Structure 1
Amino acid sequence: MGSQGINYDEPLLPPQPPPKPKAAHGGGDESSALEDTLTNRDMMAVQRWWLATWLEMRYLVPLAGPALVVYLLNYLISMSTQMFCGHLGNLELAASSLGNNGVQLLAYGLMLGMGSAVETLCGQAYGANKYEMLGIYMQRSTILLTATGIPLMLVYIFSKDILLLLGEPEDIASAAGIFIIGLIPQIFAYACNFPIQKFLQSQSVVFPSAYISAVALVFHIVLSWVVMFKLGWGLLGASLVLSLSWWIIVVAQFVYILYSSKFKYTWTGFSLAAFSGLWDFLKLSTASAVMLCLETWYFQIMVLIAGLLENPQLALDSLSVSTTISGWVFMIAVGFNAAASVRVSNELGARHPKSASFSVVAVTSISFVIALICAILVLIFRYQLSYIFTGGSEVSDAVAELSPFLALSILLNGVQPVLSGVAVGCGWQAFVAYVNVGCYYVVGIPVGALLGFYFNLGVKGLWGGMLGGTIMQTIILLWVTYRTDWEKEVENAAHRLRTWDAKKEPLLN
């Protein structure tokens, strides 16, 4: 991604001047062009569709491209840590897998989920030209997430005892406990990072975050090698470097916001107003958190259950490799998730129902095609995948056996996260949370445990049953999205804006 011809002091979708009262619900000229095209009955349907696709790609590619690069690079930071740990030994790989995928996802899912409330509110406020509230929403979210980090810190401190209580082997639990202690600073980096990230994405400002993440990744790899292999700090050194790398990303992004002129309307400095309306903001944040946590914890539970299977070290190692690769590809879909959320919330705020629905189709289609390509590559290189993380044919054969499940997971991840992004853009978090409870925890986990333990299918049975829950959830979200009344969603967004105009409170129902 070259830097020639790019002016980093100009946003990809430039902010308009401070809005006049009459234009409170107006959209930008580019967004209006898409809506005008989709509603133009003088054009042939095919011509209208091609022009609309071209316009949507002009909005989507500069947003989704850098966004997915940001998520991929950030995930590579954690993934590279696991790779370094794997080259210390199989025990260290199992411990870092349990720490990263079993415990750290607790904080990641909760923080990212609560931060998703900023996507709904900032996205719709930006689409309706309510620029001054974006910085307030970011600060409110940071306050709530930091407070949430305190009880999470206690979980990290007592992680070894918790893992032993859950039945994990003592050697793996002890090593994982050491690794997790070094991740405590990362909790509070998440608390700052996700609100900042959503604040930037809602304004279609994503290139700077991509460059910051790229620099942080290089720094992380070099420092991890020095700390783990030259200084011999092992698992604790690996997790401390991981935490430091996340703090570098946070500080760099915030400094960029402070000194970039593009945020002169959306960031007006620290304000005591951030402490008002916290209860209402917490309600939407909680709905967002429950929605996402039920997804991220789903596979976290699979990792924890895998530690109870026969030969837990091999089960955890093979599952670690598979879920890490799945997670890396999943970050592509998360990038499209962010793009879908921004596009839908901006268009709803601008009162463009046709554009919002068209964006959903475009983003979902592109994400699925990319996922299909990745799934095919996984099947082709199934015997080589594990050697990126650790040596030995035993783990390689186990990963190859799991490759069909990995490929299917990647395909589903090409659609489901994007639909969740649509839900965030529309403010449907509570509904999706109910869907996740039913599909994941009433169907997926019980069926997976039954196949894995009662029918002795091991990791394959566990993963297969849980994939059934994911398939159910994806079908339901597809149906609900297909049946959505976008005119009504525009009115719902307008209601939030009228509430803000009257009370200067968060954009909540």
Structure 2
Amino acid sequence: MASSFKSSSPIAQEIVARDIAECSEDEVAENVFEDDESGLDSGSESGPVLYTQPTGVAFGYRRPSIVADPVNEPVLTRIERKQSRDAERSLLRDNHLLPPKHVPEEQPGMLTKLYKALFSTKVRRTPGDEEVPRITVQPSESSPLLGSPPASPHEHLNEQWEAAVASGKIETTWQREAKTIATYSRSLILTFLLQYSINIASIFAVGRIGKVELGAVSLATMTANILCYAPMQGLATSLDTLCAQAYGSGHKHLVGLQLQRMTYFLWVLVVPVAVLFFFAKDILLHIVPDPRSAELAGLYLRIITIGVPGFAAFEGGKRFVQSQGLFIATTYVLLIAAPINIFINWLLVWHFGWGFIGAPISVAITQTLMPLLLLSYVAFVDGSQCWGGFTSRALTNWGPMIWLALPGMVMVMAEWLAFEILTLVTSQFGTSYLAAQSILVTLTSTTFMIPFPVSIAASTRVANLIGARLINAAKTSAKVAFCAGCIIGLFNLTLLAGLRYQLPLLFTQDEEVIGIVAKVMPLVAVMQVFDGLAAVAHGLLRGIGKQSFGGYANLSIYYLIALPISFATAFALDWKLTGLWLGTTIGLALVAMVEYWYTYISDWEQSALDAENRNAAG
């Protein structure tokens, strides 16, 4: 079901078509040969499939954006085709349409019975259904008349699956959906935590120096997010479409061309970003009341400018490997880069005694290292088949690419700004409040790394089931995801509320800052429930193809309701930081309610029909 909810952009099609037309005869011949080889593997595995790799690594360094529409790749990789067949086979076994994988015990013990009653993924049989139903595949004109060689593991599985779906025999259980969502989520949670650790390592290192330095890091990161990271990540989202369509066109070297084109474009944007970062201190001095915080934030931004080209290259490189189904590549890179970043922070800030300046240097080094590690993976492990070498064609055809990238940039920036503006406003309350805000943002962003991957997993699973025309199964999966969001939210609530005095000690020893954090923490803890539910709700909307509603609902509620409440309570009622977080909490609660309501009233049958039409359209 990789293409169940793919976005077929006319602009992207125009770009890829133009690049194909400019291919040389040698390039065409080479790609035709590759297509012939890949076609041998596809065999009977055409049609809707039940597995798509969850695409979550493409999101950002701070709080991930939940607005940008995901685009699934139109062609499954060889690994994904196998995983799809395994998922179909599991559901067929769950519904007793295939023999069990393991021979059941004739007289199971008490523990075995208890385990099956609680955790078995099998659909409960109705009385009288003792025999395993067999799905018969009718012979076709091409079927052999006499004995044939042994069937391959996937022989007739697609026909069996289609027959079972058509006859309405496929059901699922909450145990199966819980297991699937947990399997999808675990690697994403690890990846997000590793990626986010690159930023919080600096906050941990600097927070021990003093509250002014802690607040300055938060202020600098907020400025970098708005002026650099969010725009570049938003622009790079166009590669989700361009690389996927280039990969599916059969001209796989065009994936590398799209990467080069976007990377060069982002590097051009580094110039104005560098100018803004160079004069950031002068700008912040007119906005932030505390001059020392503005000076340190400006210094931080000047230094991390060195790492911006690496950040841009890594954003493009992630899409390059993801379009080939190599999602594990980014995880491997982060498994190496994150510990190195922590070590460099300790080495520069504390061991060498460089203090505050060591934190931005470590960020710049890590951001430069990450694309080099990703390049090493492509060169020595996998992914080089889509690299056709450097070409001057990457300097042409920029116009359509920019036009395609702008909407993604606007949506990502709009949501980032809604959160980051609170940090800027907090600076008006003084250095202690700015440091406390830095701690609260870091903690809530870290806890968000659990429900957000679950929302991606739920989105993927629901989309797969919808694309396979299993409406009831998709609704069961949605209910499981909702329960998971509740459980995670309550877990985060308990964690933050129970450790309201201990967690700030990880960042600072300043008593005033700790007191402010502890005062606001109960409200922030309550927000965790709505944060988890809202994340899962948006994932479900993406799963049924209604992600645009979720995006506009988020932005409307944040800007029209949440931010006005935050400003009114923070300044008019003088609640300060408590008021700012109250508006955010109310906003997330409204987002969750509105999105679940829309999910409930949506026509899931129509969503399945829309997915089928998109598949038919190619």
Which TM-score tier does this pair reach, normalised by the shorter chain? 0.7 to 0.9
Deviations 1:79-105 (CA, angstroms, capped at 9, x unpaired): 110111111211111111111234335
Give the equivalent residue in structure 2 for 1:152.
273
User: 1:506 aligns to what?
Assistant: none
Residue equivalent to 2:598: 480
The more displaced of 23-32 and 66-75 is 23-32
The answer to whether the aligner puts 1:255 opposite 2:376 as a matched pair is: yes
CA distance in structure 2 between the partners assigned to 1:80 and 1:53 by the alignment: 38
> Greater shift after overlay, 366-375 or 193-202?
193-202
Aligned to 2:311: 190
Aligned AA (2:340): F
Any conservation in 2 of the 1:107–1:152 contact (CA below 8 Å)? yes
> Contact 1:35/1:355 (CA < 8 Å) preserved in 2?
no
Change (3 A) 1:438 1:204: same
Partner in structure 1 of residue 573 of structure 2: 455
Question: Aligned residue for 1:390?
Answer: 508
C-alpha spacing 1:441/1:161, structure 2 compared with 1 (3 Å): farther
Unpaired runs of 5+ residues, structure 2, are 1-37, 51-83, 98-120, 126-168
Q: Deviations over 1:155-206 (max 9, x none)?
A: 3233223323334422211111001112224433332333443555577654
Between stretches 54-63 and 320-329, larger displacement belongs to 54-63
Match among 82, 86, 105 for residue 30 of structure 1: 86
The size of the alignment, in residue pairs, is 481
- Matched-pair identity in %: 25
Which range moves more in the overlay, 476-485 or 326-335? 476-485
Amino acid at match of 1:174: E
Which residue is 1:437 aligned to? 555
| 1:34-433 correspondence runs (5 A) | 51-56=172-177, 59-104=180-225, 106-118=227-239, 132=252, 142=263, 145-198=266-319, 200=321, 205-261=326-382, 263=383, 267-269=386-388, 282=402, 285-309=405-429, 312-340=430-458, 342-343=460-461, 359-422=477-540, 430-433=548-551
The answer as to whether partners of 1:368 and 1:411 remain within 8 angstroms in 2 is: yes
Shift of residue 327 of structure 1? 1.0
Q: 1:368 to 1:141 in 2, by over 3 A?
A: farther
8 Å Cα contact 1:103-1:300 kept in structure 2: no
Residue 94 of structure 1 contacts residue 317 of structure 1 at CA under 8 Å; is this kept in 2? yes
Q: Give the 3 Å change call, closer, same or farther, for CA 246–61 of structure 1 in structure 2.
A: farther
Q: Distance in 1 between matches of 2:270 and 2:468?
A: 35
Q: In the alignment, what sits opposite 1:467?
A: 585
Identify the residue that residue 3 of structure 1 maps to in structure 2: none
Q: AA paired with 1:160?
A: K
Q: Is the 8 Å Cα contact of residues 66 and 206 (structure 1) preserved in structure 2?
A: no
Deviation at 1:152, TM superposition (A): 3.5
Q: Which runs of 5+ in 1 are unaligned?
A: 1-14, 502-509
Larger Rg over CA atoms: 2
CA contact (8 A) 1:98 1:176 kept: yes
- CA gap of 1:423–1:37, structure 2 versus 1, over 3 A, is farther
Post-superposition CA distance 1:476-499 (Å, at most 9, x none): 222233344445445555666677
Partners of 1:361 and 1:204 in 2: how far apart?
A: 28
Amino acid at match of 1:438: S
Indicate the larger mover: 161-170 or 375-384.
161-170
Larger helix share, 1 or 2: 1
The structure-2 alpha-carbon separation of the partners of 1:184 and 1:332, relative to structure 1 and needing over 3 Å to count, comes to farther
Farther off after superposition, 45-54 or 209-218: 45-54
CA distance in 2, matches of 1:140, 1:427: 29
Distance 2:177 2:245 in 1: 18
Cα deviation per residue 1:203-237 (whole Å; 9 max; x = unaligned)?
76544533432322221122112222343433333
In 1, distance between residues paired with 2:324 and 2:458?
A: 13
With normalisation by structure 2, the TM-score equals 0.66
Alpha-carbon distance in 1 for matches of 2:463, 2:546: 12
Q: CA deviation at 1:270?
A: 5.0
Alignment partners' CA distance in 2, 1:60 and 1:129 = 31
Q: Report the secondary structure of 2:508's partner residue.
A: coil
What TM-score, normalized to structure 1?
0.79
Contact 1:220-1:245 at 8 Å conserved across structures: yes
Does structure 2 conserve the Cα–Cα contact (< 8 Å) formed by 1:224 and 1:237? yes
Moved more, 17-26 or 335-344: 17-26
Structure 1 range deviating more: 383-392 or 97-106? 97-106
